[in-house]
């Protein structure tokens, strides 16, 4: 009887030890799988900054200043230009020999002043430039290019400095009536200096700012940019 009891205890102990071994193996297996998955993720997710697509090589961060106003307005003698600024990114891709297609996305602050009444209007815009550039034979070492194309403008808001206080029957501008979209013609010049890019541009809108006035937006800008990813490629 005692021998049978001892044998039973031995078998029970052996079973318990086997279960512990199996549990330890399962934990080890789970740990190995998790480690392999983490290792795989590390290989997949990090960005290889030295081997980005070639389209990134010409991506430019741009900042600039501008002077803007209204042209062809019935009240042009009472209006004057004001300064603004812009910030955004642009890129370009080759389309023909010495010709490139440019596209970008920028925030631009424009505006004008109704100078006879000391009221300034500043508009906040999202610009989408779409244009072609052509490499000129002059100053080839600085990649001098002629720019010509169009620009889409989405007006997101406006601010006003001053107020109409003078009595009388004269034309007043109301920001609530400003058009929210513009489309126009753009031309200019650009040049490169190592990793830096500079451009001067003129933009003339085709959409009336106010529905009952003929005035449209006009902007002249100077911008400086930096090619963000060019130095990263090996």
For 118-155, write each residue's pLDDT tens digit.
999 999 999 999 999 999 987 777 889 999 999 999 99
pLDDT, position 149:
98
Q: Which of 102, 66, 63, 65 is nearest to 217 (CA)?
A: 66
Return the higher-pLDDT residue of 8 and 200: 200
Q: Locate the domains of the chain by residue range.
A: 1-46, 54-232
Domain spanning 54-232: CATH 2.40.160.20: yes
> CA 222 to CA 203: how far, in whole Å?
12
Report the sign of the C-alpha dihedral through residues 44, 48, 51, 54, in that order: positive
Tokens of 159: 């601010």
How many CB atoms within 10 Å of residue 234?
Answer: 6
pLDDT, position 139:
73
> CA 108 to CA 63: how far, in whole Å?
10
Which of 7-21, 51-65, 109-123, 139-153 has the weakest average pLDDT? 7-21
Centroid of chain to Cα 195: 19
Give the pTM.
Answer: 0.76
Strands (E), 17-98: 60-71, 79-80, 82-96
pLDDT band per the 50, 70, 90 thresholds, residue 178: very high
CA dihedral 97, 99, 105, 110 (to 10 degrees): 170
**Which residues are paired to 44 by β-bridges?**
none
pLDDT, position 87:
98
Centroid of chain to Cα 108: 11
Top-confidence range, 47-51, 57-61, 105-109: 105-109
pLDDT band per the 50, 70, 90 thresholds, residue 10: very low
> CA 137 to CA 146: how far, in whole Å?
11
């Amino acid at each position: 009887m005692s021998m049978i009891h001892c044998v039973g205890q031995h078998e029970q102990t052996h079973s318990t030890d086997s279960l512990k071994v199996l549990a330890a193996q399962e934990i080890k297996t789970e740990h190995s799988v998790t480690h392999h998955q983490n290792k795989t993720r590390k290989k997949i997710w990090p960005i290889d900054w030295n081997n980005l697509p070639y389209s990134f090589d010409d991506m430019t961060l741009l900042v600039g200043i501008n002077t803007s106003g209204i042209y062809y307005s019935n009240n042009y003698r009472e209006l004057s230009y004001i300064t603004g600024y812009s910030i955004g990114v642009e890129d370009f891709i080759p389309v023909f020999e010495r010709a490139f297609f440019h596209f970008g996305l920028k925030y631009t602050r424009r505006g004008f002043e109704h100078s006879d009444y000391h009221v300034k209007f500043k508009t906040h815009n999202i610009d989408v430039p779409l244009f072609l550039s052509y490499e000129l034979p002059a100053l080839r070492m600085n990649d001098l290019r002629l720019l010509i194309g169009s620009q889409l403008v989405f007006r997101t808001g406006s601010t006003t400095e001053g107020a109409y206080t003078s009595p009388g029957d004269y034309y007043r501008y109301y920001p609530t009536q400003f058009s929210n979209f513009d489309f126009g013609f753009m031309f200019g010049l650009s040049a490169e200096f190592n990793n830096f890019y500079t451009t001067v541009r003129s933009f003339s809108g085709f959409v009336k700012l106010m529905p009952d006035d003929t005035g449209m937006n006009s902007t002249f800008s100077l911008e400086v940019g930096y090619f963000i990813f060019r130095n990263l490629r090996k």
